[in-house]
Copies of this chain bind each other. A is one copy, B any other.
């Protein structure tokens, strides 16, 4: 900038104004532009940030960037924030509470303009960090009603009910459930949803296996299930588990869906990339990502907004594994 101004024979202030398109006589504009082009001037993002008090960065923090459901969210978020000139910073937390709260506290350094976080566990430490951070945060996931933080949620409890109702309507009577850890927010919600749905249909709740929200644990859980019972339908707490269960079923010689029907959750591209294609409860991942991004941008623009809650309703996508036509 200094060089450009000197070369153009004007002050640094004038050069700055021209380069930002505010003010400047035609002659000044011409000379500054020429000088800038000649020396290949390009503004320094950091200095500009220091002055403007914004970095142009949005952080997205998730447990596992390999899970297709987060990839879908990330894409949706990226599309929204890119429109407003922001770039996306991705944090992989590994689901560690310490790692997530550390991230939230680090926000005070103001290295980003805002953060979208989707924790699978929400502890008191989370809430404390969330309510004291000086930088806007939007949480994707269930947040207690009294926490004054923008929040986009879905109802996986009723999502599980959609799956169960669908299977019951198809005549299935021994419906099993493969869940993730019960010390996670989605884990407890889905467990409660499954139990409530089965009880509503007057069915015994005895076919539950708990593993992790991953492929291999899902497959192992299905193997445990098949070794002790003969379900005619399996609901899975996410698509990774469902793919694992599908393979366990096929290895065990079961026909899907004739012998055992299967429904996953999250409706990721994995469900469509399996064979047979897996029915799945959509929790609107893209939509939640999109909404979260919009909420965040709004709050960055106006910090005085009241805390908002947005809700995305689940829906069932029926495919081959639950009686749809192949």
Number of this chain's copies in the assembly equals 2
Does any Cβ of B come within 8 Å of A273's Cβ? yes
Residues from chain B with Cβ under 8 Å of A111 in the complex: 45-46, 56, 87
- Nearest CB on B from A223, distance (A): 14
Does any Cβ of B come within 8 Å of A169's Cβ? no
- Which of A28-36, A65-73, A123-131 is near enough to bind chain B? A65-73
Considering the complex, which residues of chain A in the window 9-62 have a beta carbon less than 8 Å from any beta carbon of chain B? 40, 42-47, 49-50, 55-57
A110's partner among B40, B46, B109 (CB-CB below 8 A) is: B46
Task: Say yes or no: A75 contacts B66, CB within 8 Å.
Answer: yes
Considering the complex, which residues of chain A in the window 170-219 have a beta carbon less than 8 Å from any beta carbon of chain B? 215
Bound state CA distance, A247 and B326, in angstroms? 12
Task: Say yes or no: A110 contacts B45, CB within 8 Å.
Answer: yes
- Nearest CB on B from A273, distance (A): 5
Bound state CA distance, A43 and B105, in angstroms? 12
Does any Cβ of B come within 8 Å of A137's Cβ? no
- A247 to B, closest residue via Cβ: B275
Does any Cβ of B come within 8 Å of A147's Cβ? no
Bound state CA distance, A273 and B44, in angstroms? 45
Considering the complex, which residues of chain A in the window 79-114 have a beta carbon less than 8 Å from any beta carbon of chain B? 87-92, 108-111
- A59 to B, closest residue via Cβ: B87
Considering the complex, which residues of chain A in the window 265-281 have a beta carbon less than 8 Å from any beta carbon of chain B? 269-270, 272-273, 275
- Nearest CB on B from A326, distance (A): 8
- A66 to B, closest residue via Cβ: B71
Does any Cβ of B come within 8 Å of A296's Cβ? no
Task: Say yes or no: B92 contacts A42, CB within 8 Å.
Answer: no
Bound state CA distance, A45 and B250, in angstroms? 53
Interface centre among A71, A75, A87, A251 (most CB of B within 10 A): A87
Residues from chain B with Cβ under 8 Å of A138 in the complex: none
- Nearest CB on B from A185, distance (A): 24
Does any Cβ of B come within 8 Å of A74's Cβ? yes
Does any Cβ of B come within 8 Å of A63's Cβ? no
Task: Say yes or no: A110 contacts B74, CB within 8 Å.
Answer: no
Does any Cβ of B come within 8 Å of A78's Cβ? yes
Does any Cβ of B come within 8 Å of A164's Cβ? no
Knowing A65-B74, A78-B92 touch, does A246 contact B269 (C-beta < 8 A)?
no
List 14 A-B pairs, Cβ < 8 Å.
Answer: A40-B108, A43-B109, A45-B109, A46-B55, A47-B50, A50-B50, A57-B89, A66-B72, A74-B90, A88-B89, A89-B90, A215-B272, A215-B273, A243-B273
